[in-house]
Chains A and B, each alone.
Chain A
Amino acid sequence: MVFATNPISAPEIVWWALLPLIFLTVSALLLLTVSSLLKRAVSWLSPAVSLTAGVFVLVSSIPMWNKIQDDGAVAFLNGSVGIDGSTIFLTSLIAIALIATSILARPYLQREEIPDSEFYVLLLLSAAGAAVMVAANDLIVLFLGIEILSIAVYVLVALHLRKIESQEGALKYFLLGAFSSAFLLYGIALVYGAVGTTNLFAIKNYLASAVLVEDGMLMIGFALMMVGLGFKIAAFPFHAWTPDAYQGAPTPVVIWMAAGVKVAGFAALIRVFPLTFASYVDEWQIPIAVLSGLTVVFGSVVAVVQSNVKRMLAYSSIAHAGFILIGVQSANKDGVASVLFYLGVYTFLAAGSFAVVTVIGGDGDSNHDIDAYKGLAQRKPLLAALFTILLLGQAGIPFTGGFVAKLGVISSAVDTQYYFLAGVAMLSAAIAAYVYLRILLAMYVEIDNQQIEGINVPKGVWVVTGFASIVVIVTGFIPGPIVDITRDAIPTLVSG
């Protein structure tokens, strides 16, 4: 397992590989200490610390990436933490989600009069949990990462103290999240019982070499872990918390949940199923394929009948999770690369789209009906144009990053000869396109000049939506470089 057999010898630690984690935790703890010692609140301090940590993580990932590409993946702490290409790729996505959330949260928190230092401390801690998850090489470490991430997010969802919906969404998210954690943990315990270790590398080798006579315990373990992780990524039928938590949560938190939390959840799923349980692919491939098919259909169809844009985007995020699951079920290198590409594009799509929602939500963060978007093109033509690009990207229109991402996962289903699944996914993509079209049509509806009220668009929203739109277009026209990076970022397991 994780622990040294000789209790005196300390395990080896590769410090440079832990840099992102150190940046995130140290900045969170520093911010917590300093902001509670200050006599008067300094409004720029918390966002500045959070942004700095995000930028540091992003910058540190470049030399780490080069080193990993040259020397190969490393595992340390007795093999409980492993750093490979996927770890660094996904950590930088988490850093991007953290930066986007930090930028958008500042004007939002000021407008809604939410105390800001707690928000950023919890956000940084949650990002640290995500960084643990993407580096986990042991099931217990994976579980701890999920919990560090989730517990902070439960509080973040409840942070809009004047809105009862916020606490209600948080309690629902908390109950189902803790429920799913128990399932995941029981699954881990049963896999440990069947295999005798929780180290991913050791499990993989054991399953590849030994034939289990009685594998009932292992199968139940697989199923329970699938349920637990299914809740975290909001796959149907484990999605019930998603719309309520998204609708109740402060909108910047939704950006973090849609972009950061989802990336970490899929990182866990990739490390566990296609990587560790590779030799049992026949057992888990069909259940995940079924889950992915149901999730895309359910997310797309239910999104159509919503009238609240936040709920609409929540269901569309369920549909996106289904698409990404299609890449996971293929269980081959191309499939995993398409998952990484999809996660990369989706981080930008989610951050940019929900950035617009923070603006339209207005005072009290409650103005999320689709009618609130009417005439946006008259009131703020540039914002409407950027939102159009992002919605077209979410719909997967050609020449956007969303198209390349959807094409990648669907072709991975074709590669594994799940033609029916590929067909269902394409049909659902067409249904989901109608959802985005509804928002688009509302934006370009002409309204009376009397009804036009000024909208105050903070600078941060321009930065995030602008940057996200550029990325969505660039990855649509020249996806090559990013596809190459995702192919180099295929996760591998190494021993400690």
Chain B
Amino acid sequence: MTVTTTWYLSLAAVLFSIGTVGLLVRRNPLIMFMCIELMLNAVNITFVSIGSHLNDLGGQLAVFFVLVVAAAEVVVGLALVVAIMRRRARTNADDLNILGG
């Protein structure tokens, strides 16, 4: 049995869905960051496998941009969690209830 591009794309779709559901279900901001990372890396798998399927370098190169963006996002996200942690012992998305929405 050969592993075709479809397999990789399906894996990516499954990882992306796990990330999406995880972000919606879990309430700990750190776990929510991890879920976002999972979603972005699922996209990376998609880019790489499509790039190699089409024999196009563009797909492989897009991954580098995504990695940089993901790293920058984590830096900002963790800084925000630290800023909130200084004020409160627990950080849980449900404890963020000063604003009404």
Contact = CB atoms under 8 A, between A and B. Distances in A.
Are A and B bound to each other? yes
B65 to A, nearest CB: 6
A190 B56 CA distance: 15
B57 A193 contact: no
Q: Is the interface of A mostly helix, strand, loop or mixed?
A: helix
Interface string A166-200: 01111110110011011001100110110011100
B13 to A, nearest CB: 9
Given A1-B56, A186-B43, A193-B50, A168 B84 contact: yes
Nearest to B77: A174
Given A1-B61, A243-B100, A243-B101, A185 B40 contact: yes
A171 B29 contact: yes
B18 interface: no
A482 interface: no
B76 A154 contact: yes
Given A151-B76, A168-B96, A171-B96, A186 B61 contact: no
Given A151-B72, A154-B80, A1 B43 contact: no
A414 B47 CA distance: 40
B58 A2 contact: yes
Interface in A49-92: none
Contacts of B101: 172, 240-241, 243-244
Contacts of B66: 185
The CB with the most chain B CB atoms within 10 A, among A181, A182, A311, is that of A182
A198 B58 contact: yes
B66 to A, nearest CB: 6
A190 B46 contact: yes
Interface string B60-76: 01100110010011001
Contacts of B54: 196
Interface size class of A (residues with CB under 8 A): 35 or more
A178 B78 CA distance: 13
A3 interface: yes
A198 B20 CA distance: 24
A120 interface: no
Contact of B43 (A168, A175, A185, A240): A185
A158 interface: yes
Given A143-B65, A158-B83, A244 B100 contact: yes
Contacts of A197: 56, 58
Contacts of A182: 16, 19, 36, 39-40, 43
Nearest to B91: A171
A247 interface: yes
A167 B69 contact: no
Contact of A244 (B72, B84, B99): B99
B87 interface: yes
B36 A178 contact: yes
Q: Is the interface of B mostly helix, strand, loop or mixed?
A: helix
A178 B56 contact: no
Contacts of B80: 154, 158, 167, 170-171, 174
Nearest to B97: A168
Nearest to A2: B58
B81 interface: yes
Contacts of B36: 175, 178-179, 182
Contacts of A29: none
B98 A140 contact: no
Contacts of B93: 175
A248 interface: yes
A147 B73 contact: yes
A435 interface: no
A164 B87 contact: yes
A186 B99 contact: no
A165 B98 contact: yes
B39 A155 contact: no
Nearest to A306: B100
A171 B84 contact: yes
Interface in B10-41: 16, 19-20, 23, 29, 32-33, 36, 39-40
A190 B47 CA distance: 8
A427 interface: no
Contacts of B46: 186, 189-190, 193
A209 B35 CA distance: 39
A144 B65 contact: yes
Contacts of A190: 46
A462 B98 CA distance: 32
A239 to B, nearest CB: 9
A48 interface: no
A161 interface: yes
B16 A186 contact: yes
B18 to A, nearest CB: 12
B69 A140 contact: no
16 contacts: A140-B58, A154-B76, A155-B76, A168-B99, A171-B81, A175-B36, A179-B36, A179-B39, A182-B16, A185-B40, A186-B16, A197-B56, A243-B100, A244-B100, A247-B99, A248-B99
Given A190-B46, A193-B9, 11 more contacts: A2-B61, A140-B62, A143-B69, A147-B69, A158-B80, A167-B87, A168-B98, A174-B73, A179-B36, A189-B62, A198-B62
Q: Which 3 A-B pairs have the closest CB atoms?
A: A1-B58, A182-B39, A189-B46
